[in-house]
């Protein structure tokens, strides 16, 4: 993204990456390398207003993988914003995001305490635009902000800011932040963009196939269980989709040496392992995304699958802890 912005302004990729020891084909970089590339870009183009906002609006947000699953399985817009903030906070190169709630408004504030002063404006604009970018990529109606504010002075033209953030930002304020109306955040998530849904469903299918490939009726059932992220249908709904009665569905699955409950457990177990290992969602949030009415039911099920509670699985890096062996009595062979 940084290289693209640089090249659009006549700056070579080599100049953008100067001193980073990176090439344009490198997939990963350290935070120090990214900040150096940002500084190189700003030395050439830093006088352009809204450059950080454009970078945030051009970011390539991953819609597959565990974070995509966490986002698309959100039940309310508030849940979705929470995932966006967690994702951006976890992967931002400098500065943190803090969520504040007051007077019916949720404000996501950029904390620049750890941010290099000469990069603060760019990084603040970029990360706050990232929330808007994720919302627009995932939900057809996007996520409208009610207020955007920046500490830096207003530039001569704010047209680009208005276009990217959807509102006219306030400048010269005490903080860098974007705000949302709590009444909007309490609403169910709007229609999910088909491209985003497709990427998430394919991730779930690939995850399940790596565990065990299934065909026939079992494969069709499993596809239906992951077709709509965040909504796991029951056996009656699945049977209706397959134009058979629940009793016939049970018989057909029994012929394939499985059951609806077994397939449901298979889906829930693998999805929960991914969410626990690769996101920082709480146990309650994971349980809700798997269709459990309460976290306690999920914790009991997870113990049955993995032999430990979800948080212990997470503490061991996404693995079940090794069983504790009883000490061998002295003199025993």
| Alpha-carbon dihedral 112, 40, 165, 95, rounded to 10 degrees | -20
Please provide the DSSP assignment of 75-118 as one string: SBHHHHHHHHHHHHHHH-SS-EEEEEEETTEEEEEEE-TTS-GG
CA atoms within 13 A on the CB side of 199: 18
CA atoms within 13 A on the CB side of 257: 2
- pLDDT tens for each residue of 230-284: 889 999 999 999 999 999 999 999 999 999 999 999 999 999 999 999 999 999 9
Determine the 3-state secondary structure of 180 from DSSP: strand
Do 33 and 23 meet the contact criterion of CB atoms below 8 Å apart?
no
Specify the CATH superfamily of domain 212-315. Answer: Homeodomain-like (1.10.10.60)
Question: What kind and span of H or E run contains 132?
Answer: helix 120-138
What's the chain's average pLDDT? 89
Q: Kindly tell me if the per-residue pLDDT of 332 is higher than 60.
A: no
Q: Kindly tell me if the per-residue pLDDT of 46 is higher than 70.
A: yes
**H helix count then E strand count, the chain:** 17, 4
- pLDDT tens for each residue of 103-157: 999 999 999 888 899 999 999 999 999 888 888 878 877 778 999 999 999 999 9
Do 93 and 227 meet the contact criterion of CB atoms below 8 Å apart?
no
Predicted TM-score of the model (pTM)? 0.80
Check residues 196 and 298 and name the one with the higher pLDDT: 298
DSSP symbol at 230: T
Q: Angle of helix 260-278 relative to helix 194-211, nearest 10 degrees?
A: 110
DSSP symbol at 179: E
Domain boundaries, the chain: 1-48, 49-185, 212-315
- pLDDT tens for each residue of 54-81: 999 887 666 678 988 998 899 888 898 8
Sign of CA pseudo-dihedral 265, 284, 311, 275: positive
Using a CB cutoff of 8 Å and minimum separation of 24, what contacts does 250-259 make? 252/216, 252/217, 253/217, 253/218, 253/221, 256/216, 256/217, 256/218, 258/214, 258/218
Q: In degrees rounded to 5, what are phi and psi of residue 42?
A: -70, -30
Which of 202, 244, 192, 193 is CA-nearest to residue 223? 202
């Amino acid at each position: 993204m940084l290289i693209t912005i640089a090249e659009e302004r006549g700056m070579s990729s080599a100049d953008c990456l100067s001193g980073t020891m990176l090439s344009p084909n490198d997939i990963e970089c350290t935070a120090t390398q990214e900040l150096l590339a940002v500084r190189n870009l700003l030395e050439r183009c830093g006088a352009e207003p809204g450059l950080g906002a454009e970078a945030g609006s051009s970011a390539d947000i991953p819609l597959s993988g565990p974070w995509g699953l966490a986002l698309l399985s959100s039940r309310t817009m508030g849940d979705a914003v929470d995932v966006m903030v967690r994702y951006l906070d976890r992967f931002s190169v400098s500065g943190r995001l803090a969520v504040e709630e007051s007077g019916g408004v949720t404000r996501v504030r950029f904390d620049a305490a750890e941010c290099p002063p000469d990069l603060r404006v760019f990084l603040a604009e970029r990360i706050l635009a990232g929330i808007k970018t994720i919302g627009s990529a995932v939900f057809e109606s996007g996520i409208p902000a009610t207020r955007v504010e920046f500490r830096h002075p207003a530039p001569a033209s704010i047209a680009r800011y208005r276009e990217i953030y959807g509102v006219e930002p306030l400048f010269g304020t005490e903080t860098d932040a974007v705000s949302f109306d709590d009444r909007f955040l309490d609403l169910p998530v709007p229609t999910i963009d088909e491209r985003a849904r497709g990427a998430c469903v394919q991730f779930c299918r690939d995850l399940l196939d790596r565990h065990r490939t299934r065909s026939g009726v079992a494969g069709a059932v499993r596809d239906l269980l992951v077709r709509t992220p965040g909504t796991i249908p029951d056996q009656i709904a699945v049977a209706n989709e397959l134009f058979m009665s629940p009793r016939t569905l049970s018989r057909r699955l029994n012929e394939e040496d499985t059951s609806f409950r077994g397939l449901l457990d298979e889906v829930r177990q693998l999805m929960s392992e991914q969410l626990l290992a690769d996101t920082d969602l709480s146990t309650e949030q994971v349980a809700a995304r798997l269709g459990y009415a309460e976290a306690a039911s999920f914790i009991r099920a997870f113990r049955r699958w993995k032999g430990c509670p979800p948080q212990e699985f997470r503490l061991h890096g996404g693995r079940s802890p090794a069983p504790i062996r009883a000490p061998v009595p002295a003199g025993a062979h």
